[in-house]
With several copies, the nearest count.
Chain A
Amino acid sequence: MGDVRRMIAARAAKEIEDGMVVNLGIGIPSLIPDYLRPETKVFFQAENGILGMGPTPVNNADGDLINAAGYPVTVVPGASYFDSALAFGMIRGGYIDLSILGALEVSAEGDLANWLVPGKRVPGVGGAMELAYGARQLIAVMQHVGKDGSPKIVRECRLPLTARKCVSRIITEKAVFAIEPDGLHLLEIMEGSTLEDIVNSTEADLIIDVS
């Protein structure tokens, strides 16, 4: 399963372009920096108050320099610290080029559910609703199906929503999808997967752009 998560992260890393400001959610997205080309010029934002977050410190972790998941980080040259109100002002104000978030379900129209499974442990919504609202581009990353094999790319989300019509792209270990006004496009089949498998494990209707 670790390999599946790393496979998704490696593919998602290719979506990050030079000069972008990117906010990564917890879970699979937090693995993405490991797969970036080192020469990529990118600024990672953390919603607790950093622009220009760097990798995990090798040693001498600083308890006051933490990412939004609570783990120690470093900063790159040009970084700045600020309070949480400014951090979320940036997010809602449309200054984050790309956010990559983990997902529980995504609908064919780009509705995102990623914060609450009724009857299970209640973590709360954190900053996900604002990233979904404000990021210029939102990519959802997740394993293609649930533990019971049920599809997570669905016609309509069954789980409580984080935001409507916010996801522009979905990356799983089986495929890459784009959400366009005319529907859900299959853009790319990942190595080890087949068109038939993807169609069978996806509830939403697909517009197939791959041959």
Chain B
Amino acid sequence: MDSFNKVVEVGEVASKFFHGMTLMFGGFGGVGTPPTLIDCLIESEVSDVHLIGNDAGFPWIGIGKFVVLGRAASLIASHIGSNPVAGQLMQEGKLVVEFSPQGILVERMRAGGSGIPGFASEVGIGTKLSYEKPVLDIDGKEYLFESALTADVGIVHARKADRYGNLVFNKTAQNTNPYVAMASQTTIVEAEQIVEVGSLEPDEIHLPGIYINFIIPSEGINWKWVWET
């Protein structure tokens, strides 16, 4: 592989998905979730997938399109309220859901991508979410230990990518994407625009291409947002 040209056809990345994989996805309520890669995942027919991401999307938006097919075995997320099918699968015992406070979740992704095994937190102490977490006693104070999260495959979305994988995000579509890229063994980015190496300003790059393995061109958003319906 030429590390200075990571652009491939959508068809080529389908083989990166595998049965039983841990898959981390960028996005917040579907915004910043890569639509073309979601369809590619659905078409790949892999199942028993362990998902990690901010939320469960909506039944017809983002990762939600995959969740409703029942091919995810588990999900680590901060909420699933926007996807009632996810809640139903959870109640039926078909989807194991672990809730993490939203910022703690993205911080755990960052830790996983930055060689930090975990961190201390006071968020959620004494609540239902803290029961299974190790408790640290540091100088007489108690903290929860929040462990790093990593994934086999990460799918992210960017406004622009150069062929090395340097990324520029757009507005609030950045959200968890940088950390998904860092924490995943194999990271695939879907970019709205692909440009030549050297055409992005070094100071305008939000995420260096070192974290990216494959780049595919986006076919654009193919769902209706809640506020459009």
Contacts and interface: CB of A to CB of B under 8 A. Distances in A.
Given A63-B225, A126-B102, A93 B2 contact: no
Contacts of A177: none
A158 B64 CA distance: 32
B101 interface: yes
A85 B110 contact: yes
Contact of A64 (B126, B129, B162, B170): B170
A45 B83 CA distance: 25
Contacts of B28: 48-49, 66, 68, 84
A70 interface: yes
Contact of B176 (A45, A84, A116): A84
A64 B114 CA distance: 26
Interface string A63-83: 111101111100101111111
A200 B159 CA distance: 56
B80 A48 contact: no
A88 B214 CA distance: 23
Contacts of A91: 103, 115
A194 to B, nearest CB: 36
Nearest to A124: B79
B135 interface: no
B175 interface: yes
Contact of B115 (A43, A79, A133): A133
Interface stretch (A7-15, A139-147, A148-156, A161-169): A161-169
Contacts, number: 209
A160 B176 CA distance: 27
A92 B183 CA distance: 12
A127 B202 contact: no
Nearest to B167: A80
A69 B221 CA distance: 19
Contacts of B172: 46, 48-50, 64-66, 81
Interface in A97-132: 116, 121-130
A75 B202 contact: yes
A87 B178 CA distance: 13
Contact of B79 (A51, A86, A126, A134): A126
A19 B1 CA distance: 9
A64 B173 contact: yes
A51 B54 CA distance: 20
A75 B3 CA distance: 18
A70 B106 contact: no
A199 B117 CA distance: 41
Contacts of A49: 28, 172, 174-175
Interface in B84-102: 84, 87, 90-91, 97, 99-102
Contacts of B190: none
Which of A79, A122, A129 gathers the greatest number of chain B CB atoms within 10 Å? A129
A130 B166 CA distance: 24
B106 A84 contact: yes
Contact of A124 (B80, B164, B174, B227): B80
A69 B81 CA distance: 11
A75 B173 CA distance: 14
A85 B129 contact: no
30 contacts: A43-B210, A48-B175, A50-B172, A62-B171, A63-B221, A63-B225, A64-B171, A66-B28, A66-B31, A70-B225, A78-B4, A78-B162, A78-B164, A78-B197, A78-B209, A84-B28, A88-B102, A90-B114, A91-B115, A92-B116, A93-B114, A122-B80, A123-B81, A124-B77, A124-B97, A125-B79, A125-B129, A126-B78, A134-B115, A163-B123
Interface of B: 1-4, 28-32, 54-55, 77-82, 84, 87, 90-91, 97, 99-104, 106-107, 109-110, 113-116, 122-129, 159, 162, 164, 166, 169-179, 182, 197-198, 200, 202-203, 205-206, 208-211, 221, 225-227
